[in-house]
Amino acid sequence: VKFDLTDAYFRKGLYPQALEAAQQVSPAGQQDDTYLALLGDIEAHLGDTTRAKEIFQEAIHRNPDNDQYYLSLTLVELRQNNVSAAEETSRKGLARIPSSGKILWGLGIVSAMEGKTPQAAENFERAVDLLPEWPGSYSTLGVFYYQTGEITKAREVLNRFKGSNAAGGLDVNRIEEALDKAPVASSSLREPMPMIARQQLLQLALSLADRTL
């Protein structure tokens, strides 16, 4: 019950209350992998990224085949602006779990932050292929193509989403309106994204991870 309360507070963005509830979970419950992952997310949102990083590193040590832990650690390292560490974490995870769409998605964010735009596109595309049921993979890829002036590809992503089994999560009509109004721009898919676009993509990723993963 305490864990459910902790999770409910976290989902509502009430992080201090979530931490307080987490501290009341039984000692046995605190050894659970799911509890550890949630505690790490709470600490990250409260700004204690160092503690969050320790928690996720411990979680990976205990269960090295859980791709969510690698992604969570990657996102914490991106919050710390430690892009090289985030890449190392993602690559370690992929070496262990090569077919993880979650880790590839995280690596896509890392690649975009590093200015490696073509690699980001490849990783995001593979993430959609491996996570066809997750709306977040389509959202990220669509926004990424929109940011790089690839409006036709952004439309293709939206059409793929509409034909998929992904459960809701996207305001299709609003996205179509935005694409219709998009200014004609030359593609920048072969160039590093501007820093402001990278930060926007990172904030989108963090929000999607919170709400849908």
The full set of domain ranges for the chain reads 1-63, 67-212
What CATH code is assigned to 1-63?
Answer: 1.25.40.10
Residue 166 or 58, more confident: 58
pLDDT score, position 32? 85
Whether 26 has a pLDDT exceeding 80, the answer reads yes
d(CA 102, CA 130): 8
d(CA 17, CA 89): 30
Give pLDDT tens digits for 65-87. 999 999 999 999 999 999 999 99
Cα dihedral across residues 168, 34, 36, 75: positive or negative: negative
Domain covering 67-212, topology: 1.25.40
Give pLDDT tens digits for 101-131. 999 999 999 999 999 999 999 999 999 999 9
pLDDT score, position 2? 78
User: 46-54 long-range contacts, Cβ below 8 Å, gap at least 24?
Assistant: 46/15, 46/16, 46/19, 49/76, 49/79, 49/80, 52/76, 53/77, 53/80
Amino acid identity, position 19: L
Residue 176 or 204, more confident: 204
pLDDT band at residue 168 under the 50/70/90 scheme: low
pLDDT score, position 202? 95
Q: Which residues contact 155 (CB under 8 A, 6 or more apart)?
A: 179
